[in-house]
Structures are given as structure tokens and as C-alpha cells.
């Protein structure tokens, strides 16, 4: 099917969602902006949307090839994908393999320490509240998801972690942590939104730090991650 972009449905911190000529599909378009730390910090560099789009396409296709259902359909343009229209669950599932970020601040852990077991955390998607950490009982009480859906999300999050860690290891990349979101498509839960450096910590395996001499060159970081992924996969998009 040839997809055509029509009216704008919504615009978020990093993406725009467009309707298509198919009621079951939308176009997810990445921008060159990224709002970080709950919309308190803006990061921009030319071509960022293109890098994110390509990284997302590769990783979602890898998940599909490992029988983990996603909303991915095909690439639409350099900075946009065609995806299945999904009813999003307003919750982020965070998978942590190393101590970093807010986890260090909350628990007083040593930074950059490999955890003895992957940690799953859940955040309620609400920018005004700063996406607070919740547990499964909050999710049930707030009717964000059912118990069965929670089980599916946890199971698939751990499967995703295994697939990503195995793949990234081949590219000399450490998956320190990442977040995934899920949506309902025809009564089935699928991985939706994105898996990119926007929502993940991918570290150089040799330095255990972000890519580049000082870790402050996001354009180099995104380009290097994409280059390494293309070197170890068949997805050249």
C-alpha cells in the first residue's frame, strides 16, 4: 500500500503524528528537537530526526524479527515511519542494567555500576507531574492497564532487554537503560513510540561513557550508534 500523509493529529516533545489515507495507520515524524528532563532542557542539532528515525526503524525491525510485536510498518521518509495506529498506555516501562540517572539520586547508588539483575520501573506519563515513578498497584488503581497487560509488558520488556543487549554487544555498545511504551492494536499489546538515544542510555563498551571525547557531542553520538548498528545488522534503510 502507498501511504499518503494528511492532517496533523498531535505534536509532542520529539515527534509529530500525522493521519494517513489508511484509518489503521499513522505517520510518526521525528523532529530535530528533543525536550529532555521533563521538558526543562532543549537539545537540537541538524539531522537529529533522521538519525532517530533510522535507529528506531532498525531496532523495531530487530524486535519484530525476534517475535516481539511492535507498531512498526515501514519507513516513510528520512525522518518518518509508518506505524499502526495504537491506543497508547500512559505509562513508561524503564529497564535498567546499570545505575544511572534518577535511580542514582533516589537510591544513593554508585554511578555506572552494573546491577546484579535488570530493574524494571514504571512511570506515569504526565509532564506536569514530571512523569512520577509508580508501581503496578498505582497502575491498576488509576486504571492505566489491566493485570494481564502489566504481565505482558513486563515479560516483553525483559525480552526486549535481552535482544537489545545481545545486539548492542556485537556493536561494542552497552545498554545502560532504556524505556519502552506499549499500545493496544486490535486487542493486542505492541511496542510503540520509539527506542532511540532520546529515551535510552547507550554507552561505548570501551569507556562505559557516552560516545565522543567528552560525551557532549550528541550529533556524533547518534551518528556513531547508527553506524555501529548498520555494521552488525542487515538493515541499511
Write out pLDDT tens, residues 97-124: 999 999 999 999 999 999 999 999 999 9
What CATH number should be reported for the domain holding residue 180? 3.30.470.20
Report the chain's mean pLDDT, rounded to a whole number: 93
Contact 126, 132 (CB under 8 A): yes
Same domain membership, residue 194 and residue 93: yes
pLDDT of residue 39: 47
**Range(s) of the domain holding residue 114:** 87-218
Same domain membership, residue 144 and residue 71: no
Look at the chain and count its residues: 237
- Cα R_g (the chain), whole angstroms: 17
Split into its structural domains, the chain has a count of: 2
pLDDT > 90: percent of the chain: 84
pLDDT band at 217 (very low <50, low <70, confident <90, very high): confident
- Mean pLDDT lowest among 30-39, 96-105, 136-145, 154-163: 30-39
Quote the CA–CA distance of 162 and 48 in Å, as a whole number. 27
In a domain, 232, yes or no: no
CA 173 to chain centre: 16
**What pLDDT, in 10s, does the model give residues 66-81?**
999 999 999 999 999 9
In a domain, 231, yes or no: no
Q: How far is CA 90 from CA 71, 158, 171, 188, 216, in A?
A: 16, 19, 32, 16, 31
Q: What's the whole-model pTM score?
A: 0.93
Q: How far is CA 125 from CA 92, 177, 217, 222, in A?
A: 7, 18, 28, 25
Same domain membership, residue 99 and residue 74: no
Q: Which three cell numbers stand for residue 99?
A: 545505575
Question: Closest Cα to residue 51, out of 91, 90, 87, 78?
Answer: 78
Quote the CA–CA distance of 153 and 125 in Å, as a whole number. 15
Amino acid at each position: 500500500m502507498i501511504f499518503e500523509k494528511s492532517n496533523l493529529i498531535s505534536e509532542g516533545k520529539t515527534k509529530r503524528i500525522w493521519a494517513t489515507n489508511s484509518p489503521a495507520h499513522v505517520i510518526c515524524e521525528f523532529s530535530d528537537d528533543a525536550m529532555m528532563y521533563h521538558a526543562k532542557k532543549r537539545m537540537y542539532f541538524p539531522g537529529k530526526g533522521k538519525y532517530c528515525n533510522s535507529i528506531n526503524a532498525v531496532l523495531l525491525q530487530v524486535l519484530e524479527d525476534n517475535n516481539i510485536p511492535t507498531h512498526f510498518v515501514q519507513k516513510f521518509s528520512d525522518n518518518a515511519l509508518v506505524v499502526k495506529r495504537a491506543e497508547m498506555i500512559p505509562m513508561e516501562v524503564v529497564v535498567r542494567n546499570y545505575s544511572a540517572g534518577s535511580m542514582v539520586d533516589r537510591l544513593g547508588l554508585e554511578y555506572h555500576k552494573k546491577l546484579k539483575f535488570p530493574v524494571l520501573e514504571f512511570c506515569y506519563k504526565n509532564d506536569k507531574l514530571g512523569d512520577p515513578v509508580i508501581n503496578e498497584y498505582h497502575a491498576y488503581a488509576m486504571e492505566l492497564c489491566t493485570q494481564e497487560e502489566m504481565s505482558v509488558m513486563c515479560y516483553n520488556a525483559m525480552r526486549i532487554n535481552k535482544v537489545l543487549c545481545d545486539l548492542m554487544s556485537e556493536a561494542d555498545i552497552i545498554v545502560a537503560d532504556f524505556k519502552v511504551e506499549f499500545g493496544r492494536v486490535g486487542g493486542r499489546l505492541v511496542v510503540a513510540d520509539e527506542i532511540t538515544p532520546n529515551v535510552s542510555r547507550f554507552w561505548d563498551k570501551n569507556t562505559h561513557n557516552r560516545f565522543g571525547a567528552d560525551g557532549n557531542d550528541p550529533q556524533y553520538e547518534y551518528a556513531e550508534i547508527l553506524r555501529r548498528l548498520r555494521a552488525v545488522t542487515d538493515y541499511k534503510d
